Structures are given as structure tokens and as C-alpha cells.
Amino acid sequence: MNNQLKPDFSEWEKLPVIEQVLSDLAICYEPDLLKKEYRTHFDFSKANKKQIKKYIDLLLAVQYVWQKLQRYELYFTVFYPVSDEISEIEALNHHIQAYLQDSIIFKNKILVFLGELKNDVSRVASNADEVKNFFRVGIEMVKNTFSNVEKRRNSHTHKGMRFFDGQLIEGENAQNVRKLLSKRFGEQVDKFFTADGKKVFFEKLKKDEEESIKKTKEWWITATRKNAGQSTQMLNGVLSAARPAMYKFLKIKSPYDVIKSLTEKDENTN
């Protein structure tokens, strides 16, 4: 291979596996993306383009939610409205709800991908039972990875009277009491509270509210940062394990692997 055609593999190898796989599928679906000098080393005639498109769509759906989950640390840190019509507690609770829901969507998108691949590979494999067992183990691993998220979401959704995080509800209670006393019963409060007593009580409510927000933010910022790394590792593992079976079913080879093999062959020859 001409030295000028040798690609830099270091950046490719740093990519998450899902981006590597999607790049492979995109090139195999549209081989004209490759320069002519590269295309001569590939045989795309047997590639199942209809199925390649199907798996591109499935993995793009996984990628979209995965990328969104990576940004939740930022959402919990800085993404809050400036409008007085939406309180910081309301916005924080919205982030929590959205994060839990997106985590479950992420799990479901991976399971759909694995389920489709299991069915497709099983239909053409000579060892269908082994294939089904392989995917069964993978599917169980994904489900177990998200078991804690589902427990928290179910608790968050179905227990109690309100859809609220347990830590944050203390701040919401303090906020509601303060608003109730100051806005709806302002004159009555002034009749029963001394000026100093009212000040001290309202300051305590405000402090309870702020501490609740601070602790809840810190917890979710830490959790989303940790979960972002774990979800990426899990997705890398799932796709690395599933990739050989998928490529065999689609009758393709990784352009990256082929070009790297040619490059290494040239280097060994020289």
C-alpha cells in the first residue's frame, strides 16, 4: 500500500465501539465513500445492504440516547431556567425524571438491537442453540446493569403521593410552606408571629430548601458522572461481543480491520 494512503489508526482506536461500528456500516452501505485506492481491496458485492440499513437505524437510536446520557452531568450542574415562573427545585426534579426515563430507554434500545440480531443470526446459523444462549447471556447482563436504575425509577414513580426525589422533597416542602405563609396567609402570619420569630423561621425554611437542592444536585452530578462511564463500558462490551456475529450475518468486513491488516502487511514486507 502506498505510504501516502496509510491512515492514522490512533484516533480511530480511541473511538467508542458504537462509533466504530456505525462507521463500518456506513462505509459498507455506501462504499463510494471510500477512495478508489481503498475500494480495490474490498468486495462489497455480497453485503446485505437492506439489513445493513436496518442495523444502522437500530444503532443510531442507541447512540442518540447514549450521547444524551453523557450530558446529564452538565444538565444537573448548569442547566436551570432564569425565569421566576420555574423554581430550581422544579427544574431539578424535571432533570431527575428525564434522566431515569432516558436510562430505561437506553436499556430498551440496546435490548431491541440484541433481540433483532439474535433472531437474524439464529435463522442462518448452524449452531442456533449456541447463538441463542450467547445472546441470552448478553441480554441478561444488560438487564442486570440497569436493575438499580429501574428500582430507583419505580420507587420514584410509584411510591408515595408525588413524583419526587426523596432528598429533594424536603426542599420542596420547605419551599411550599414558605410560599404558603408569605403569600396566602401573610397578614395572619404577622398577627401570630413576632417580627424576629418570622424572620428566623423563614430563614430556616430558606436554608432547608437550599441545602436540599445542594445535596440533591451533588448526589445526581456524582451519580450521572459515574453512570456515564459505566454505560459506555457496558455498551462497548456488548457491541464488541456482538460485532463478529453481526458482520458475519451482514456479509461484511470492517474497512478499518482490512486497511490496518494491509498496512501491517506492507510494514512487515518492507
For residue 24, what pLDDT is reported?
Answer: 93
What DSSP line would sit under the chain, residue for residue? --GGG---HHHHHHS-HHHHHHHHHHHHHSGGGS-HHHHTT---TT--HHHHHHHHHHHHHHHHHHHHHHTHHHHHHH-----TTS-HHHHHHHHHHHHHHHHHHHHHHHHHHHHHHHHHHHHH-TTHHHHHHHHHHHHHHHHHHTHHHHHHHHHHHHSSSS---HHHHHHHHHHHHHHIIIIISHHHHHHHS-HHHHHHHHHHHHHHHHHHHHHHHHHHHHHHHHHHHHHHHHHHHHHHHHHHHHHHHHT---HHHHHHHHHHHHHHH-
pLDDT in tens, 177-204: 777 766 655 566 666 777 776 677 778 8
pLDDT in tens, 12-44: 788 999 999 999 999 999 988 887 877 777 888
For residue 107, what pLDDT is reported?
Answer: 94
* Domain extents in the chain: 86-246
pLDDT in tens, 90-100: 899 999 999 99
Q: Would you say 5 and 37 are in contact if contact means Cβ atoms under 8 Å apart?
A: yes
Average pLDDT score, the chain: 83
Q: Would you say 254 and 247 are in contact if contact means Cβ atoms under 8 Å apart?
A: yes
Q: Which tops the pLDDT comparison, 130 or 57?
A: 57
Say yes or no to pLDDT of 248 above 70: yes
Instruction: Band the pLDDT of 161: cuts 50, 70, 90.
Output: very low
Looking at CATH, the fold of the domain delimited by 86-246 is given as Substrate Binding Domain Of Dnak; Chain:A; Domain 2 (1.20.1270)
Alpha-carbon distance of 205 to 179, in angstroms, equals 10
* Global model pTM greater than 0.95: no
Q: Which tops the pLDDT comparison, 120 or 164?
A: 120
Q: Which tops the pLDDT comparison, 222 or 4?
A: 222
